Amino acid sequence: GHGISQGGAVGANTLWDAGLTGAGSIVGVSDSGIDLNHCFFADAEGDCDPFDAFDDDCRKVVYYDTFADGTDDDGHGTHVAGTAAGSCAASCSSSDDIGNAYDARFAFMDIGLADEDFLTVPLSLDSGLLEVLRDQGAYVSTHSWGASQFVYNYESSDVDSFMHAFPDSLVLFAAGNDGDLGAETVGTPGNAKNVLTVGAAMAAGESWDAYFGQPVSSLYDVFNSDVVAYFSSRGPSTANRLKPDVLGSGFYVNSAQAGSSCSTLNLAGTSMATPMIAGIAVLVRQFFTSGRYRIPGASAGAGEDFTTPSGALLKALLIHSSQPMSAVESATDLYATESLYGYPDTIQGYGSVQADRVLPVLGDFDLFAVGSYDAGSPYYYALEATGDSVQFRFRTAAASS
């Protein structure tokens, strides 16, 4: 899924090639736990203690809130975290299955009790979870859980309230795995208005060919990355909002296996797609925070560098990067596809994220962006509800033949 979400093809790791790896960033995660002994998260020297206190000496997990406990018997959280930003410690061999933001570190909240089939979340998701992770430096956080309650409830409201109060942050939630039940199946809090809600696409054809040991992608259209997975929950959500927003590879994703020293395994779900896109969100944010963006034509050091992107801008860029899908996997015949009608729609949202369509890492276009969270920045614009407007004019070059 790395190449698909970065450059639209297997191996097209265009953001990595441009030096965007998540370095200096912290990604927030809440899930069943992380196996800190797995090579994706372990410290080679072993002198790391992130439990309930920030430890900047840790290689990967700088903060581990033991809200539920401090283990990952389930393995879900270890897999999710590995997809977002896992990377192998110096003491073990490298792996191709590292996370999208592999140089980023983690602020993590454990919400999974051992031997329980359900998660235990704080009563207040804004102050009890999201603010806790942000306080550790996680301005992008990813959450691969939710309830099959297809209504806008207090948890949805908590998440929206957080993003309104902290415009420097972006929160991602999984859409859910109830797509086989039809429309209006995006669960809470993935149905919140301000979050980036992520559905699941099929893995690339090359991955399916390797999985089956034969060229199934050329025999069945379903085994390709431009097809929506059958289980991916569908909108619309409350108030007829378009959900999900975007898709990421989610059927299957190879990532860290809890309880092993360095093994990986394949899992499927919107839980797997969401951290894939969260890793991309970290890289998009790094593009700005590292000083790479300025108004096209402006010189470096002219006071026009844009280093304070808002969560809303990150969300908008990811949505605008997305590519339309060709079909959706049939829920009754997993070797068949069904048609999609219109774009965007409530099955695919805006489609599959391809970040190099909005970040000029290939040097093939200029990007004009506004949306700073800093009111003192020239890139900050506030539109009031009183009818004020801001006019932008664009000059574009004629397309080459």
* pLDDT value for 330: 96
Around Cβ 206, how many Cβ atoms within 10 Å?
Answer: 17
Residues 6+ apart with CB under 8 A from 51: 64, 66, 70
Task: Write down the pTM of the prediction.
Answer: 0.93
Query: Tokens representing 390?
Result: 């801001």
DSSP, collapsed to helix, strand or coil, labels residue 328 as strand
pLDDT (mean) for 287-298 = 82
- Taking 70 as the threshold, does the pLDDT of residue 280 lie above it? yes
- Label residue 145 by pLDDT band (50, 70, 90): very high
Specify the pLDDT at position 117: 82
State the pLDDT confidence band at 387, using cuts at 50, 70 and 90.
low
The closest alpha carbon to 107, from 311, 278, 258, belongs to 278
Mean pLDDT of 357-376: 90
Instruction: Provide the pLDDT for residue 401.
Output: 42
**Cα separation, 390 vs 370, whole angstroms:** 12
pLDDT tier, 386 (very low <50, low <70, confident <90, very high otherwise): low
Average pLDDT over residues 178-196: 96
Return the higher-pLDDT residue of 235 and 117: 235
Give the Cα separation of 318 and 312 in Å (integer).
Answer: 10
- The mean pLDDT value for 33-61 works out to 92
pLDDT at 163: 96
What's the token pair of residue 67? 């809200």
DSSP 129: I
Q: What is the structure's pLDDT at 216?
A: 92
- 56 burial (CB, 10 Å; 0-12 / 13-18 / 19+) is exposed
Q: How far apart are CA 181 and CA 209, in angstroms?
A: 29
- pLDDT band, very low/low/confident/very high, at 398 (cuts 50, 70, 90): low
Q: Mean of the pLDDT values across residues 271-292?
A: 96
Determine if the peptide bond prior to 309 is cis (ω within 30°).
no
| pLDDT tens digits, one per residue of 191-233 | 999 999 999 999 999 999 988 999 999 999 999 999 999 999 9
Q: What percent of the chain has pLDDT over 90?
A: 75
43-57, 174-188, 353-367: least confident range: 43-57
Structure confidence at residue 257 (pLDDT): 95
Following DSSP, what letter does each residue of 180-221 receive, concatenated? GG-SS-PPBTTT-SSSEEEEEEEPPHHHHHHHHTS-HHHH-T
Orientation angle between helical segments 76-85 and 270-289, nearest 10 degrees: 30
**pLDDT tier, 375 (very low <50, low <70, confident <90, very high otherwise):** confident
